[in-house]
Amino acid sequence: MQHISFDINFLLAHYSEMNERRKPPLGDGGHILNDKDDVTHLLILRFQQLLSDGVLSPGAKLPPERELAAAFGVARSSLRPALKVLEIMGVITQKVGDGSYLNKDASSVLSVPMEFLFLLDDTTLQELSEMRLMMEPGLAAKAAERANAQHITLLRQSIVDLENSKDDRVRLVASDLLFHRAIFQASGNRLAGRLFHTIHRAMLNMIMVTSQLVDLEHTLHFHRPILVAIERRDAELASRLMTDHLIDARDLLLHSREQESSRQLRNHLAAGMSVRKRASKTVPQPSAGQTKLPKIIAAIRSSSGLI
């Protein structure tokens, strides 16, 4: 209890200094924040400041709502929406009957909003393959330098699973994704591991498409040499082989898109020809009198000096 009291005093001391410059609940323009959305936005910015200043650390338990509200100078009813947004963003975890904690593992932070970004921003497979080409060869090189026994075991297992997937499409895609996840992790860069957590659904979609365009041995043809290069600690070779793998996947996607566009064009043209044929059968042919009528009108106009 004494430790929590110390945290509260530290928090209050920190905000006594901040409130000299920014009296709550005022917005950036100095207007009073009566709208709950404005208050929520301001409180989230203040939590960001606390994290940036090191006042709050990963895994720390937040003070009770009553004390937090007092520290921020807002009502508890205004504080709760901000806490809920932070929970959705993955910044905190709220435990019933216990309180709120900052997450220890930052991999969950913003993962949901980022996944929505990939969905709502209409990120294409071509854009994803371009980003992977810029990133994964370097990660493969780092994996060759830093992979430990556990990473190597995981990479080997992914290839065994891939070999045994046969006609099991779900297992095939899962094994393929596991191989790339293991390389992200083996790079030894924590941000890379967290990035995979964010984009893995988009990568899954990409692998599901490419896996339908080639047979099993095609994928193994790329995965096996990359594993060997990582095992031999050959960073340059691992990077080059990963580049070849991703270029192949990109070209498969482009070829598939071209084929689909060509198919759609053929279907469109075929549909147009069918409509024209049906229209020609239903349109009545002009009678002999109707055929001569334009000529008669032209002759009258000519004789009348109208032409």
Please work out, in degrees rounded to the nearest 5, the angle formed at the alpha carbon of residue 101 by the alpha carbons of 98 and 102: 175
Of 2-16, 128-142, 156-170, the poorest mean pLDDT is in: 2-16
So what's the pLDDT on residue 286? 56
pLDDT of residue 219 exceeding 80, the answer is yes
Q: What is the 3-state secondary structure (H, E, C) of 167-199?
A: CCHHHHHHHHHHHHHHHHHHCCCHHHHHHHHHH
* More confident position, 24 or 279: 279
Which region, left, alpha or beta, applies to residue 287 given φ > 0 means left and ψ of -120 to 50 means alpha? Answer: beta
Q: Is the peptide bond before 81 cis (omega within 30 degrees of 0)?
A: no
So what's the pLDDT on residue 250? 92
| DSSP letter string, 234-259 | -HHHHHHHHHHHHHHHHHHHHHHHHH
pLDDT of residue 27 exceeding 50, the answer is no
Residue 294: pLDDT band with limits 50, 70, 90: low
pLDDT of residue 36 exceeding 50, the answer is yes
Measured between alpha carbons, how far is 26 from 33 in angstroms, rounded to an integer? 6
Q: Are 165 and 178 in contact (CB under 8 A)?
A: no
So what's the pLDDT on residue 34? 46
Q: Quick one: average pLDDT of 210-225?
A: 94
So what's the pLDDT on residue 163? 95
- For residue 112 the two structure tokens come to 């949901």
So what's the pLDDT on residue 199? 83
**For the domain bounded by 112-257, which CATH number is listed?**
1.20.120.530
pLDDT averaged over every residue in the chain? 76
Q: Mind listing the pLDDT tens digit for each residue in 144-156? A: 999 999 999 999 9
Q: Report the residue count for the chain.
A: 307
pLDDT of residue 15 exceeding 50, the answer is no
pLDDT of residue 124 exceeding 70, the answer is yes
Give the residue carrying structure tokens 């059968």: 281
Measured between alpha carbons, how far is 261 from 228 in angstroms, rounded to an integer? 38
Q: Are 145 and 232 in contact (CB under 8 A)?
A: no
Residue 255: pLDDT band with limits 50, 70, 90: confident
Residue 99 host element (H or E): strand 99-102
Which region, left, alpha or beta, applies to residue 122 given φ > 0 means left and ψ of -120 to 50 means alpha? Answer: left
Q: Mind listing the pLDDT tens digit for each residue in 59-113? A: 888 888 888 888 888 888 888 888 887 776 677 888 888 888 887 765 555 555 5
Q: Quick one: average pLDDT of 46-54?
A: 72
So what's the pLDDT on residue 105? 63
- For residue 102 the two structure tokens come to 């900052």
CATH for 2-105, options being 3.50.30.30, 1.10.10.10, 3.40.50.300, 3.40.50.10860:
1.10.10.10
Residue 267: pLDDT band with limits 50, 70, 90: confident
Q: What share of the chain is helix, strand, coil (3-state, %, to 5)?
A: 75, 5, 20
pLDDT of residue 23 exceeding 60, the answer is no
So what's the pLDDT on residue 157? 95
* Cα R_g (the chain), whole angstroms: 32
Q: Are 142 and 235 in contact (CB under 8 A)?
A: yes
So what's the pLDDT on residue 221? 97
Within 13 A of 299's CA, how many CA atoms are on the CB side?
5
Q: Mind listing the pLDDT tens digit for each residue in 155-213? A: 999 999 999 998 788 889 989 999 999 999 999 998 898 888 778 878 888 898 888 88
Boundaries of every domain in the chain: 2-105, 112-257
So what's the pLDDT on residue 293? 53
- For residue 15 the two structure tokens come to 């905000």
pLDDT of residue 18 exceeding 60, the answer is no
pLDDT of residue 296 exceeding 60, the answer is no
